[in-house]
Amino acid sequence: MENKTIKVLDTTLRDGEQTPGVALNPDEKLELAKALDDLGVDIIEAGSAITSKGEREAIRRISREGLNAEICTYARGLKTDVDAALECDVDSVFVVVPTSDIHLKHKLKKSRTQLKEMMTETIQHARDHGLIVELGAEDATRTDLEFLKEVFQVGVEQGAERVCVCDTVGVMMPEQTQELFSDLTQTLEVPVTAHCHDDFGVGTANTIAAVRGGAREVHVTVSGLGERAGNAALEEVALALTKFYEYETNVDLKKVYGVSKLVERITGLPVPPTKAIVGDNAFSHEAGIHTHGVLSRPSTYEPISPEMVGQKRRLVFGKHVGSHAIKSELEKRGLKPNGEQLEEIFAKIKELGDRGKLVTDAEWTAIVDEVMGRTLEKIVELEELTVTSGNKVTPTASVKIKFQDKDFTESGVGVGPVDAVINAIRKVVEEISSIKLQEYHVDAISGGTDAMVSVVVKLTDGKRIITSRGSSGDIIMASVQAVLNGVNRLLWDKKLGGGA
């Protein structure tokens, strides 16, 4: 009987960290590794041990954490790389050797015979020291097929337990990928694995095609991070295999959105709103006819329920919004507008949208409060703010915030004064509530010396995600306003029993 369970090797901590601008310290790597293990990935490629002392420390800490996943490190076809891996107590090494003529000639500068000799020594060295070996052929999809088979066969004879086809520059198309894997899996007696890049936007499609061709392990990264256009995305591959094909993985799909947000926070790389499955717009609806349909029956415009991947449905209010969405959201918050009020709210939101404005939660609720005669109580208020910054001075901020007749004082440091202020406020907010800051960005800056700065933040209380805005001639005050406006909105809605 064919094995329908596909192993997942996550390389966010190695190939994902090779994304330009991303550098993870040992604490961050360990936090992500624990999250990946909890997610259910089978193998965690924790890094490349030969890279640096700090990298080896991170991999060693992950190896000693007692995780369920197999812990792996990347190694070139060199015994020194295996020695570095042995220092880290890993379970396995992903030994990667270039196999295409272009790589052999211009990068490795070795002949095919020399490559096989080097690879043989490396695999033997790793096996002699008890490591599991997965042999990867770099640029395999531009390698002469007979030579590729020869490399893999030699590797298996030396003890490699898995072999990996690396579509290093993403040049395969899905039908070619399936044909290649079908050929290789009939030839080789060990599992064949797929490592696909997304240079032409088919990383996920190629990975699925590889599985259909016989691959029994896939290499992926959270949110598709990686060099250039990135790697096949873990969440896309895992969902597609189980949704459209009769395969299984050990990935807990309900946790993929949470892990994606963690990776976003730690790497500092925002997930595009339109990113499949984990993007904030993946289950967001604004257009009137779409919103009406999804409220009547979610499957009209949602291929899966957002809860399946740990997401939530969001109704976005802008110039495309319909009255059904507005009425539904108001009722969800425990409000019952009459026909005249509903029409006025609808008209004001349309007007904002026509002016090209982002209708944030704060603006939407301000309209509702005005039309329905509600007064937003300032549950949390800024009492004092002190910021210190300058050359050779670590930016530091101190805030005093009033909440329920009590004063809370906290300080924070940051890479700049705004970061320090946000960190100080974050400490207070998380001390008095379950609200967390998810995202911060400067939305718009007007021209001139008296420029107005508009700051937009996303906050969540675990049940809702809201967007709030603050505007001021001072970016620090705009930031404070944005956060506190959002906090007050969430606390006010909770007090009224709404905000589901």
Segment 317-341, tens digit of pLDDT:
666 667 777 787 777 777 788 888 8
Lowest mean pLDDT among 90-99, 143-152, 203-212, 289-298: 289-298
Residues 6+ apart with CB under 8 A from 330: 336, 337, 342, 345, 368
Torsion angle defined by CA atoms of residues 12, 15, 21 and 23, in that order, rounded to the nearest 10 degrees: 60
Residues 6+ apart with CB under 8 A from 127: 133, 158, 159
Q: How confident is the model at residue 498 (pLDDT cuts 50, 70, 90)?
A: very low
Q: How confident is the model at residue 71 (pLDDT cuts 50, 70, 90)?
A: very high
Q: How confident is the model at residue 270 (pLDDT cuts 50, 70, 90)?
A: confident
Residue 312 neighbours by CB distance under 10 Å: 14
Position 436 scores a pLDDT of 82
Position 1 scores a pLDDT of 39
Position 124 scores a pLDDT of 98
Structure tokens belonging to residue 131? 């490591």
Task: Give the residue ranges of DSSP H helices in 286-399.
Answer: 288-296, 323-332, 339-354, 361-372
Cα–Cα distances (Å) from 414 to 389, 399, 417, 422, 486, in that order, read 10, 14, 7, 9, 22
- Dihedral angle sign, alpha carbons of residues 162, 163, 169, 173: negative
- Rounded to the nearest angstrom, the gap between the alpha carbon of residue 102 and the centroid of all alpha carbons in its chain is 33
Comparing C-alpha atoms, which of 334, 343, 476, 307 is closest to residue 397? 476
Check pLDDT > 80 for residue 409. yes
Structure tokens belonging to residue 180? 């290649």
Mean of all residue pLDDT scores within the chain:
88
Position 414 scores a pLDDT of 87
Q: Give 369: exposed, middle or buried? Use CB within 10 Å, 0-12, 13-18, 19+.
A: middle
Q: Which residue has the tokens 């349309």?
A: 350
Cα angle: 204, vertex 205, 207; to 5 degrees: 65
Position 499 scores a pLDDT of 42
What would the pLDDT profile of 276-333 be if each residue is shown by its tens digit?
Answer: 999 988 887 665 555 556 556 777 767 888 899 998 877 666 666 677 777 877 777 7
Distance CA 438, CA 299 (A): 28
Q: How confident is the model at residue 500 (pLDDT cuts 50, 70, 90)?
A: very low
**Is residue 72 a contact partner of residue 46, using CB atoms and an 8 Å limit?**
yes
In the chain the domains, ranked by start, together with CATH numbers, are 7-267 (3.20.20.70), 284-372 (1.10.238), 380-495 (3.30.160.270)
pTM for the predicted model, two decimal places: 0.77
Distance CA 411, CA 422 (A): 10
What would the pLDDT profile of 170-189 be if each residue is shown by its tens digit?
Answer: 999 999 999 999 999 999 99
For the residues of 23-85, what is the DSSP string, one character each? ---HHHHHHHHHHHHHHT-SEEEEEETTS-HHHHHHHHHHHTT--SSEEEEEEESSHHHHHHH
Element (H, E) at 132: strand 132-138
As a whole number, mean pLDDT of residues 139-151 equals 97
Q: How confident is the model at residue 263 (pLDDT cuts 50, 70, 90)?
A: very high
Position 433 scores a pLDDT of 82
Comparing C-alpha atoms, which of 189, 262, 253, 268 is closest to residue 39? 253
Lowest mean pLDDT among 18-27, 84-93, 404-413, 486-495: 486-495
Cα angle: 308, vertex 314, 317; to 5 degrees: 165
Distance CA 381, CA 335 (A): 26
Position 448 scores a pLDDT of 62
Comparing C-alpha atoms, which of 462, 176, 493 is closest to residue 365? 493
CA terminus-to-terminus distance, the chain: 47
Lowest mean pLDDT among 50-54, 128-132, 156-160, 445-449: 445-449
What would the pLDDT profile of 218-255 be if each residue is shown by its tens digit?
Answer: 999 999 999 999 999 999 999 999 999 989 999 999 99
- Dihedral angle sign, alpha carbons of residues 440, 446, 447, 452: negative
Residue 181 amino acid letter:
F
Position 371 scores a pLDDT of 80
Q: How confident is the model at residue 496 (pLDDT cuts 50, 70, 90)?
A: low
Q: How confident is the model at residue 144 (pLDDT cuts 50, 70, 90)?
A: very high
Residue 292: strand, helix, or coil: helix
Percent of the chain with pLDDT over 90: 57
Percent of the chain with pLDDT over 70: 89
Q: Which residue has the higher pLDDT, 51 or 288?
A: 51
As a whole number, mean pLDDT of residues 484-491 equals 84
Position 245 scores a pLDDT of 94
Task: Give the residue ranges of DSSP H helices in 130-214.
Answer: 145-157, 174-187, 203-212
Computed on alpha carbons and rounded to an integer, the radius of gyration of the chain in Å comes to 26
Comparing C-alpha atoms, which of 133, 487, 267, 104 is closest to residue 499? 487
What would the pLDDT profile of 214-226 be if each residue is shown by its tens digit?
Answer: 999 999 999 999 9
Position 48 scores a pLDDT of 97
